[in-house]
Amino acid sequence: MTCFSSADESAHYGFSVCMLLEHYRAQLGWEAEGVVELGTGDATAIAEVVAGLPDLRVRSYDISAPSIEEARANISARGVSDRYTVELGDFFDQADSAGGPRVSTVISNPPYIPAPDRDILMPELWGGVFGNDLVLQLLKSDYDNVITAVASYSDPVTTVRTAEDLGYRVANFLAMGLDFGTYSSEPKVREHIRRLCADGHGWAGDDEYMVAVALFTRNPDVRGDRADQLLNSLQITE
């Protein structure tokens, strides 16, 4: 087992989380509550965000032991161990049983690799057959604000429409084009992605896809709904 490694993707995730937390600071209430995170990885991107936002506290979980080890070293090197804590375990088991008041905001660059089964390069990145199992589970976990990466090849229409059914609106998002990396390029995964997209479950180019980091919210103080713009940015035409 290794640690997730994709520098551009992690940087986009960190930058976008920072931008969305800053932009909606007044409405989200994270200064008082902190936020939780599904999937720490090596923690570099969010450690930078924590360093840049002195009022931010993050409680993060990852199922990968090597990731947690690397994350703790990276967090410590950036001097934010007091405000960015990481624990080994399944987010869905741990976050709810952590005690204390429940926070309203969760952040995540979740596993979103679609494949027929979990037998892929890094099994922890498997997002189910359509790639969006974990983001759907997150949306069903009753957080008022879900800041999450949404990939263009992981059935984003189902993700966005499920979010709508659960009462969420897309407040805003930051989208970026990414080249297929180590995990999407695995032949079994690449072929599966090609088939999913041909069947109308997403978009990917020959060697590229889009990822947006979006704020899904049920907070009435955050106005508007950019769900259609989000899907457009992911190259989806319904």
Ligand X SMILES: C[S@@+](CC[C@H](N)C(=O)[O-])C[C@H]1O[C@@H](n2cnc3c(N)ncnc32)[C@H](O)[C@@H]1O
Binding site for ligand X (CB under 6 A): 4, 10, 13, 38-41, 45, 61-64, 67, 90-92, 109, 111, 124-125
**Nearer to ligand X among residue 27 and residue 78 (C-beta):** 78
Q: Write down the least CB distance from residue 233 to ligand X, Å.
A: 19
Q: Least distance in Å: CB of 197 to ligand X?
A: 20
* CA–CA gap between residue 63 and residue 48 (Å, rounded): 22
Q: Give the 3-state secondary structure of residue 194.
A: helix
Rounded to whole angstroms, the Cα distance separating 228 from 183 reads: 28
Between 40 and 145, CB nearer to ligand X: 40
C-alpha distances out from residue 92 to 36, 110, 137, 142, Å: 11, 12, 9, 11
Given the complex with ligand X, which of 132 and 219 has the nearer CB atom?
A: 132
Q: How far is the CB of 26 from ligand X (least distance, A)?
A: 25
As measured in angstroms, the least distance from the Cβ of 4 to ligand X is 4
Angle in degrees, 0-180, between the axes of helices 44-52 and 7-23, rounded to the nearest 10: 30
Of 122 and 163, which CB lies nearer to ligand X in the complex structure?
122
